[in-house]
Structure 1
Amino acid sequence: MAHEILAVKLCELEDRFIRLRSRIHLSETAGHDQLRQEIRSLSRECMETELTLWQKLQLSRAEVVATLAGTYSEIEQSIQRAKAKLEEQAAARNDAEAQAEEKILLAEYALDFAVQAANRALLLAMEAIDAQSPGRENERRPS
């Protein structure tokens, strides 16, 4: 059962990456108005997804989920603080080009962290599937 759940989650992740790639392409080719509309749409989607995730986390009785929720919250707060600090520094320079470069830098590293998070999620899923595999103990011990 867990294997099927993880397979569905991995498919969801793949779908999200496909949409991410599509949105990156759109952001490179779209006009300013269309880009602003997509930013609003994605912002709404992010808020809705985060709310849904928090609701799921609160309904869970597993202790590890409370730990994950707290850690996720800390990470989100740290990212928001870093973003605010970078925006503040760029605004203090009163240089539109510097502000754009700061946003690009933030986006670049956010994407790097997202890839790392996806790899970690995949690794956890693979380890969970391996843990449920019948005969896995026999495979790990040398003959």
Structure 2
Amino acid sequence: MWGNSSRKDDEDEAVGAVSFDPFADLLLGLIAIVVPIIGLLLASGNGLSDHIEKAQPAPPVEESFVIVADARGLSVPNGLGDGALYEIPVGAILDDENLARTLRERRDNAEPVSLRIEANGLESAFLFEAVAAQHGPASIFQTRIGALP
């Protein structure tokens, strides 16, 4: 009796009901989404090197206005040609009017600007970028000096 009834239930399930495995559905759904995305990413990377702009070489140091960023702040040439520098502490970089005016003058005269970033001068360089984005020339040549600790 017990054997016949369970056999009958199995036959009813096989004939009238379709069973779904939710994990298989999830797996197939993920595959259906991920495979085309991977194909698009691989196809779009083929021509990437054609669109990369070639970097212009940095001007010689003698012809460039060189700003040095270190842990103390920025060392900026005074612009008088005597090689003297004035120091801008880290906390004053964003508010320094002389730096903003100097960068505007360089931009207006299309003169190159170089930023030398010492190994401990990342914070100063980051703050300088904010000022340079607003007042500076279209391109600034950056050089990292020394290895990061």
TM-score, scaled relative to structure 1:
0.23
More helix by share: 1
Question: Greater strand share, 1 or 2?
Answer: 2
Query: Max radius of gyration: which structure?
Result: 2
TM-score between the two structures when normalised by the length of structure 2 = 0.22
